[in-house]
Structure 1
Amino acid sequence: MSPGDGNDDDLYGGTGQTRTRLPDGGQGDVYGGAARRPARSSSRSLITVVGVVVLLIAAIAFANRGDSSSNDADAKKPDTSPTAPTGTKPVTSGFAHDKQGAQSAAANYAVALVSADILKPDRRTEIVRQLFVPDKVAGLEAKFDKAYSTDFLSRLGLDTNGNAPAGQTYVSRTVPVGTKTTAYSDGTATAEVWCTGAFGTAGESTKNPVTNDWFTMTLKLRWTDGDWKVESFSQKDGPSPVNGDNKISSADEIAKAVEQYGGFTYAR
C-alpha cells in the first residue's frame, strides 16, 4: 500500500521500503533518531515517503551552503541547479507511451519522490500535482502535509519551510540504478526502480549525518492526458551490496559536493 492507495497507515508503518510511509516518532536509530530519507520508515527508522515523495519531481531544491574560499582567487563558482549541472532543467514529462517510457517516467518520479523538495510545503504541492493522477492529488496533498508536520521537520533539524539551519545542508538525493516493468497494458503500467542515494544533514552539529542507502521503489502508473502519471507507489529495502572500504568525507566536503554538483533526472 502507499499514500496513493488512500490508507494513512501506509505512511507510518511497515517493514521497509516497498511500503511508502513516514516516520514514527517513537522509533530511533543510530543517528540520533532522525531518518535518512524523507519518506520511509523501517526497522532502522528511515524517514522517507518516499519522500521521498522525496523524489523527491525531478526538480529537487536542496538547501545549499555557499563557500567563497578557493585555491584560485580567480576561480568562478560553478553554475549549478538542483536538477542539472548546466542549469537547464531536463524534460520531466511527455514520456513515450510504451514500456520504455513507463520506465523512464518511473525513474524520474523516484528521484522527485525522495528529494529534499518534498519537505518544502510549496514545492511539495507542485510535486504532487505534477506527478500524480488528478483523482489522487487532493488526498495525497492532505496526507503529505500531515506527515511532514512541523514536529516531523523539527526532528530532522529543519524549520517549517524544510530548510536546514545556517551552516548545515540537508541532503536527499536519489540515484536510480536500474528499472524494469512488471506489468504493462495500454493504459497502465507497474515499474520498479532500484535506487541508491545520499540522505541526511551535513554539518558539524548534526544528529542525522549523511549516509548511503539502497532501496527499490514500485510505482503504479496510469496513462493520463498523454503522459504517464503515478497512481500509487511504495518502497522496500535493498538489494544492498556490501559496503566498500571508502574513506568517509567530512560534513563540509559533503555540503560542498551538494552545492557544486547538480542532481540529475533520468531517462532510459
Structure 2
Amino acid sequence: MTDKRETHSEGEAYATSVAAEERTANNLVEARNLVKRFGKLEAVKGVSFSIQAGEIFGLLGPNGAGKSTIINILCGYLRPDEGEALIGGYSVSREAQAVKRLLGVVPQEIALYRDLNALENLDFFASLYGVPAPERRARAEEVLHFVGLHERRKEPLKNFSGGMLRRLNFAVALMHRPRVLLLDEPTVGVDPQSREHIFENIEKLAADGTTVLYTTHYMEEAERLCRRIAIMDEGRIIALGTLEQLLAMRDQSRIVYRPHGLQELFIQLTGKTLRDL
C-alpha cells in the first residue's frame, strides 16, 4: 500500500513543476509562496499557483484546508505573512485600488441587503465599485437577465429562495465587469436548477475571457467546470494539474470508486473521506 507521506511528497513535487512550467505573461492571477499564520496556526504554507486569462481554475479541498484564506488574501481582506499575490500584474498588498477594478468576488455567505430589492442591491454595490450612476441601471438590467432574475427585479428579497439569493449574490460581483472572478463555494445550499444556472453562467463568462478561481469541496463541480485543479490539504497544495493529469496520479491498486476518479485521488492524497468535508 502506498504510504500517505510518499503520496504527499509526489503531489507537492508535481505541483511545483507544473506551476513553474505554466508561469507566462498571460497569467491574470498569481500566488507566490503565500504564507498566512493565525497565532501558532499556519493556515497557508507556501502556496503558489497561477491562472491564465479565460481559465476556470479549481481550488479543491476539505473544510480547513486553507481555500477561504487564499481567497481572502487575493481579495486583499488578509495580508500574507510571507509571499505575494498579483491580480492582472498588480500587487494585491500595494496596489489595492487597481486590483479592486479588476476583481469580482462571490463570497460563501450571502452578502445582500434584505430590505432592498434586487435592482436596489445591484445599484448600491455598483456604486461602491465606482460605476457611474447613469450606467448602473442599464448594467443592472443586463446582469439580472444574465442570472435569470430580471422578472423578479423589484420584489423584496424576503420572497427569494436560497438559490435566487445565491444568483443575486453572483450578479453583484458582475456589475463592474471584472476581468477576474473569485467564487468561494458559490453553490452551497442551492437547489439543482440554480446550481445548473450558476454553472452555465460561469462557463459563458470564461468563454468571453473572464478568469475564474473556483473553490469547492464538491468533486463533480470541479470535474465539470475546471481546466486545471489544485488539491489543498492542511494549508498546502498537494497536487495540481488538469483532470487527466490528476487522475493519472492515482494509485491504481487502491481504486474503489472508479466512476468518481477525482474523489478517489482526493481520498488517497489526504486520507480523508467525504464525511470529513
- Tell me whether the two structures share a fold, i.e. TM-score over 0.5: no
TM-score normalized with structure 1 length: 0.28
Higher relative contact order (CA 8 A, sep 6+): 2
Of structures 1 and 2, the larger Rg is shown by 2
TM-score normalized with structure 2 length: 0.27
